[in-house]
C-alpha cells in the first residue's frame, strides 16, 4: 500500500519551488552553458510548485470580467465596481437630513 506523501515546498524570492531543487540553477540538469543558461526558462522551471503570475494576472484573479485573461479595456472593471459600491454605501439617506 502506497502512502500519499505531500512534496516539500520551499519559498525562494517569493516563488514556490519543490525542495529537491538544486542549490543553484547551474547544478540543474536543464542548465546548458553560459550562452544558453536554462533550456526551460524561469517560467517553465521543472521544480516550480506553482505557476508564476504577473501582477496584472494576480489582480484579475477571481474577476468575472476577466474570464481567463486580462481585462479587455484600459479600465479595470473590478476597481470600478469597488468604487461604485463604496460610493453607494457612503451616500446619506434622503430622510436623514429632515430629522
Tens digit of pLDDT for each residue in 1-11? 556 666 688 88
Q: What are phi and psi of 60, to 5 degrees?
A: -80, -5
**pLDDT for position 74:** 65
**pLDDT for position 59:** 72
**pLDDT for position 97:** 54
Q: Provide the β-strand partners of residue 15.
A: 12
**pLDDT for position 87:** 85
Residues in the chain predicted with pLDDT less than 50, given as ranges, are 99
Tell me the C-alpha distance between 74 and 61, whole Å: 17
Which residues have C-beta within 8 Å of that of residue 53, sequence separation ≥ 6? 61
**pLDDT for position 14:** 75
Amino acid at each position: 500500500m502506497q502512502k500519499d506523501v505531500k512534496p516539500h515546498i520551499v519559498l525562494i524570492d517569493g516563488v514556490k519551488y519543490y525542495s529537491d531543487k538544486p542549490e543553484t540553477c547551474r547544478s540543474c540538469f536543464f542548465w546548458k552553458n553560459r550562452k544558453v543558461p536554462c533550456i526551460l526558462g524561469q517560467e517553465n522551471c521543472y521544480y516550480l510548485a506553482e505557476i508564476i503570475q504577473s501582477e496584472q494576472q494576480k489582480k484579475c484573479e477571481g474577476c468575472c470580467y476577466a474570464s481567463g485573461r486580462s481585462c479587455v479595456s484600459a479600465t479595470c472593471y473590478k476597481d470600478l465596481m469597488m468604487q461604485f459600491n463604496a460610493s453607494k454605501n457612503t451616500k446619506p439617506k434622503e430622510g436623514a437630513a429632515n430629522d
